[in-house]
Structure 1
């Protein structure tokens, strides 16, 4: 129960980075398992380590392929071309935001989040600000889109992670994720077209 407190508290307190938080949580769990609850022994640790390596290796292969593909897209200037095309199709704020959402959902399936933000944010930012969209609101829209992209079939990276962790097939995970995906997209539409939802706390904090 203290793991989330340690992880989030450490990150938001500036004590360690998210990557370091992962290592800290592992060490903390190891100490609790070995010395507090005493549920782990040497044989179990070997088995846990083996399964962790198998899961991590599978995930890293997927991430490596996705990163390589994102490099190809970047070199081909495909995201830039598509973004420019979308923003020149219409002057309607509603349609432009819808097209941007569709673009970001698509990009989120194939590109690593940081790469997608670095490439698309400078292109889309002037367009949305010209439409009167608050920069913070646009940032929330963009991050939400790319996060949803991580679980969008057929290439969302987290789908492969879930299938590996759950020890099931990818098609089972995809079938199971569809209701949640529909709900997330509906939430995204609310965030996009009802700024008060996502801007409540930023406005409250000034």
Structure 2
């Protein structure tokens, strides 16, 4: 963890490169220092990693298909027009944006959600009085919730595959944490200072 965070924060490597360095460090420790790793265990670990990676790639492929289909049908533009025609109340508009972002996040990869929804909802949110920094926090929180929610829920499927448990078992145990995340989402959405005070403190001037 120290290697990964140190390399990323120090700007020495990207997150992917830091993960590669951490793997090499772990192999060196287990092979040369602790001597708990052998070639048989290494092959088993690689096999399990390949299966987990296969699950992730399959989920990303499905989400990319959905992303293309949505763009082809012009659903994002249609959604924006429907929202503007439905209400001009900022409180209701922010709630609808949250619902849509969360729903999309359960089906789509995080990168796809950000690329599609940012140009769509950011101007709409700013028109209703939400700043870009606050919108970024709302978007990322919804993506984080989506990554942990079936039917796609990439992060949850990875965790279940690694832990050897079913999604149903996990869902029953993490429901209280979902409630806490939804409360945090509401606070970030409707209390601008909650997500902008730290950037304002760092930059020395108000951040929206």
Normalising by the residue count of structure 1, what TM-score does the alignment of the two structures yield? 0.91
RMSD between aligned residues: 1.6
Give the length in aligned residue pairs: 203
Q: How far apart, in 2, do the equivalents of 1:178 and 1:67 lie?
A: 28
Q: Is the contact between residue 133 and residue 195 of structure 2 (CA under 8 Å) also seen in structure 1?
A: no
Q: How far apart, in 1, do the equivalents of 2:120 and 2:67 lie?
A: 17
Normalising by the residue count of structure 2, what TM-score does the alignment of the two structures yield? 0.90
Structure 1 stretches of 5 or more lacking a match?
none
Q: 1:152 aligns with which of 149, 153, 169?
A: 149
1:18-40 Cα deviation digits (max 9, x unpaired): 22222122112111211222221
State the partner residue of 1:101. 98
1:163-191 Cα deviation digits (max 9, x unpaired): 21111222212222322222111111111
What is the Cα deviation at residue 123 of structure 1? 1.9
Q: 1:57 aligns with which of 54, 58, 68?
A: 54
- Flag the 1:178–1:83 CA change in 2: closer, same or farther, 3 A: farther
Q: How far apart, in 2, do the equivalents of 1:153 and 1:176 lie?
A: 14
Q: 1:87 aligns with which of 84, 88, 100?
A: 84
State the partner residue of 1:184. 181
Q: How far apart, in 2, do the equivalents of 1:77 and 1:63 lie?
A: 21
State the partner residue of 2:44. 47
Asked if 1:18 is matched to 2:5, the reply is no
